[in-house]
């Protein structure tokens, strides 16, 4: 697909199509229930940062009976330990290449993670024999001191990464993604946000040449999903009896 030594970002057209296919496979596997368990909802957003290459953020909400709520359950899906290089060399190489933090500190004081002489991401983490519940929402994962280590890259190989280049311009990859018409987000099940507003503070749309007084008197333009919900709750006895919430209306009124 790519010529010898050609980098991925040199072919944004192929890169976009390959990434979209991989994104679809990842989404299908997540929704299948065979990876984490039965899924209640999935949301993902595609972003383009740094050198313009795409990445996606996934939020996966599992059904209550499949949620991971104990340290033993965390260990079944999360590991922060190095794999055995001899037993699984391929996965080991991927972890070392893509999932290792640093160098930082004295080895690289100009790393973008450094703030006031310390890593703002709180590395290096302390060793832990077992996974436990931490403060807040983050567990303290098992990090056993088993003697495994990874070789640090030489300093001269890191010079091009010392300066963090931030840009807000449209990259070739993002431009190609939009030209192809690929979606920037996905959601299951589909949801519609309720437009919450104060009385007479709803947003309305109108043409430039329309008289403002006429707009203010137009009841149809003043209607919103929120005002309709309030009105039907005030006038429909069946809605009052069922005590319907906004999320319940599609079930009874569609």
Residue 67 C-alpha from the chain's centroid: 19
Res 69 pLDDT > 50: yes
Rounded-to-integer distance, Cα 229 and Cα 248, Å: 11
Res 167 pLDDT > 60: no
Return the half-sphere exposure (C-beta side, CA atoms, 13 A cut-off) of residue 175.
8
Res 135 pLDDT > 50: yes
- C-alpha distances out from residue 21 to 14, 26, 27, 28, 202, Å: 11, 9, 10, 11, 40
Report residue 2's pLDDT band, with 50, 70 and 90 as the boundaries. low
Report residue 145's pLDDT band, with 50, 70 and 90 as the boundaries. confident
Res 24 pLDDT > 90: yes
Return the pLDDT at 149.
63
Provide the pairing of β-strand 118-119 with 39-49.
Answer: unpaired
Return the pLDDT at 168.
54
Return the pLDDT at 20.
96
Return the pLDDT at 179.
95
**Strands (E) located in 141-240:** 185-188
Question: pLDDT tens for residues 219-248?
Answer: 888 888 888 888 888 898 888 888 888 888
Res 146 pLDDT > 80: no
């Amino acid at each position: 697909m790519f010529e010898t030594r050609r980098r991925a970002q040199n072919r944004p057209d192929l890169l976009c199509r390959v990434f979209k296919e991989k994104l679809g496979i990842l989404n299908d596997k997540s929704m299948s229930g065979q990876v984490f368990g039965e899924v209640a909802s999935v949301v993902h957003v595609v972003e383009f940062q740094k050198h313009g290459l795409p990445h996606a953020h996934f939020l996966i909400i599992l059904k209550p009976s499949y949620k991971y709520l104990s340290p033993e359950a965390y260990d079944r899906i999360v590991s922060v330990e190095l794999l055995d290089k001899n037993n699984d060399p391929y996965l080991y190489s991927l972890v070392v290449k893509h999932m290792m933090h640093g160098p930082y500190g004295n080895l690289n004081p100009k790393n973008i993670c450094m703030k006031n002489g310390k890593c703002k991401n709180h590395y290096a983490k302390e060793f832990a024999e077992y996974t436990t519940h931490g403060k807040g929402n983050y567990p303290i994962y098992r990090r056993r001191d088993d003697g495994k280590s990874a070789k640090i890259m030489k300093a001269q190989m890191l010079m091009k990464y010392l300066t963090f280049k931030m840009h807000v311009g449209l990259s070739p990859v993002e431009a190609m993604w939009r030209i192809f018409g690929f979606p920037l987000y996905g959601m299951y099940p589909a949801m519609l946000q309720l437009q919450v507003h104060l009385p007479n503070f709803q947003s309305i749309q109108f043409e430039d040449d329309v008289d403002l007084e006429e707009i203010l008197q137009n009841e149809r333009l003043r209607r919103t999903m929120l005002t309709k919900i309030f009105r039907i709750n005030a006038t429909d006895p069946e809605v009052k009896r069922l005590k319907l919430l906004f999320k319940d209306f599609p079930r009874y009124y569609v």
